């Protein structure tokens, strides 16, 4: 039987667009999915504690509703000089149906 809760996410990494499919709660966060499926260098150094900002992504379709853990995120973004809207720590984004059709770009520090 075909699953109906597929979450499709487009991830731009170094100019290449990865189209990945997952399910709610298959990964504990968007960072964990990116780490597993794309494995960017030096990504997710603090393992999702919201402190290192190496999992930074830019949201390309910003009207998207996102579910967040919101643990340390604002403090960490400010500490790294990231003050504009649309930049998020992917470790703080839960994989759920709200991420369906999300497009992000991995931003290197
Ligand atoms: S993995 Fe370190 S802030 Fe997200």
pLDDT (tens digit per residue) in 30-78:
999 999 999 999 999 999 999 999 999 999 987 777 777 676 898 999 9
* Residue 96, SS3 per DSSP: coil
CB 17 within 8 A of CB 11: yes
Q: Which two tokens stand for residue 55?
A: 């999992």
Spans of all domains in the chain: 7-106
Position 69 scores a pLDDT of: 64
From 106, 101, 98, select the one nearest 43 (Cα to Cα).
Answer: 106
> Which residue is listed with tokens 């995120």?
73
| CATH value of 7-106 in 3.90.550.10, 1.10.1760.20, 3.90.1150.10, 3.10.20.30 | 3.10.20.30
- Point out the ligand 1 atom lying closest to the alpha carbon of residue 53: 3
Ligand 1 lining (C-beta closer than 6 Å) = 31, 44-46, 48-55, 76, 89, 91
Q: Give the Å distance between the CA of 109 and the centre of ligand 1.
A: 12
Residue of 11 and 74 predicted with greater confidence:
11
Q: Where is 105: in which H helix or E strand?
A: strand 102-106
Confidence band for 3, pLDDT divided at 50, 70 and 90 = confident
Average pLDDT of 4-20? 96
Q: Give the Å distance between the CA of 101 and the centre of ligand 1.
A: 23
Helix (DSSP H) and strand (DSSP E) numbers for the chain:
2, 5
């Amino acid at each position: 039987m075909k699953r109906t809760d597929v979450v499709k996410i487009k991830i731009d990494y170094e100019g290449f667009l990865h189209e990945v499919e997952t399910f709610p709660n298959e990964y504990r966060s968007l960072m964990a999915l990116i780490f597993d499926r794309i494995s960017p260098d030096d990504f997710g150094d603090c393992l999702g504690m919201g402190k290192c900002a190496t999992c930074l992504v830019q949201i390309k379709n910003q009207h998207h509703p996102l579910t967040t853990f919101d643990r340390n995120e604002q403090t960490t973004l400010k500490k790294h000089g990231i003050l504009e809207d649309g930049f998020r720590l992917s470790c703080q984004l839960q994989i759920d149906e709200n991420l369906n059709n999300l497009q992000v770009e991995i931003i290197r520090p």
